[in-house]
């Protein structure tokens, strides 16, 4: 009887240890995404003019569509971020901010892999640029 209890305890202990180890391993599995292959017509896109109004609209739309993954201030730490296979780039990152508006537009609304397409969710081009303008304020 004692031996059975001991075996059960050992099995339970091993499971607990495995879960604890996986908890440390999982986030490290996230890999940085490969370089984006952005079509030339997007690279050369010209954004609309940023105004305090567009930034206000962008902030509201960002909270609705982007915050759950990219986090409140764009650091890639939203509630859904931990379950992603790809490590998200912070919008504060200098390399990210060095990209042209058109490239950010393509990455944000056309997307790829885990970054979903938002073209059917945000129909108005003005609204899309408002989000890009807001992302620029996060640096």
Partner 1 sequence: MKNKMLFIILLSLISIITFAQEDTTAVAETKDKPVRSPFESGYLIDAQTTVIPNPNTLEMVIQHKFGTIENGRSDLWGIYAPANIRMGLNYVPVRNFQIGAGITKTKMATDVNAKWTILEQTRENTIPVAVALYGVMAIDGRNISAFETGQVREAYSGPVGSFKFPDRLSYFSQLIVGRKFTDWLSLQAGVSFTHYNAVGVLYDHDKVGVHFNGRIKVSPQGSVIFNYDAPLKIKEISEQLEWTNHPEPSFTFGYEISTSTHAFQIYAGNAGSFLPQENMMWNQRSISKDNFAIGFTITRLWGF
Residues of this chain that bind partner 1 (CB under 8 A): 57, 59-61, 63-68, 118, 120-121, 123-124, 126-127
Distance separating alpha carbons of residues 133 and 79, to the nearest angstrom: 23
CB of 122 to partner 1, least distance (A): 9
Distance separating alpha carbons of residues 130 and 56, to the nearest angstrom: 8
| Nearer CB in complex with partner 1: 13/116 | 116
| Nearer CB in complex with partner 1: 18/63 | 63
Distance separating alpha carbons of residues 90 and 42, to the nearest angstrom: 21
CB of 125 to partner 1, least distance (A): 11
| Nearer CB in complex with partner 1: 64/139 | 64
Structure-token pair, residue 70: 């990219």
Contacts of 114 (CB under 8 A, 6+ apart): 84, 85, 86
| Nearer CB in complex with partner 1: 101/127 | 127
CB of 43 to partner 1, least distance (A): 26
CB of 33 to partner 1, least distance (A): 20
Contacts of 32 (CB under 8 A, 6+ apart): 86, 87, 89
Structure-token pair, residue 92: 């504060």
């Amino acid at each position: 009887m004692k031996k059975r209890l001991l075996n059960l305890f050992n099995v339970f202990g091993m499971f607990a240890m495995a879960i604890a180890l996986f908890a440390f391993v999982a986030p490290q599995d996230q890999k940085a995404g490969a370089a984006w292959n952005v079509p030339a017509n997007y690279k050369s896109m010209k954004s609309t003019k940023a105004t305090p109004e567009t930034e206000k609209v962008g902030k509201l739309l960002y909270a609705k569509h982007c915050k759950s993954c990219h986090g409140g201030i764009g650091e890639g730490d939203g509630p859904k971020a931990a379950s992603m296979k790809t490590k998200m780039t912070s919008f504060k990152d200098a390399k990210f901010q060095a990209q042209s508006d058109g490239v950010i537009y393509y990455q944000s609304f056309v997307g790829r892999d885990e970054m979903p397409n938002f073209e059917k969710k945000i129909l108005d081009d003005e609204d899309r640029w408002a989000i890009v303008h807001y992302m620029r304020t996060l640096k």
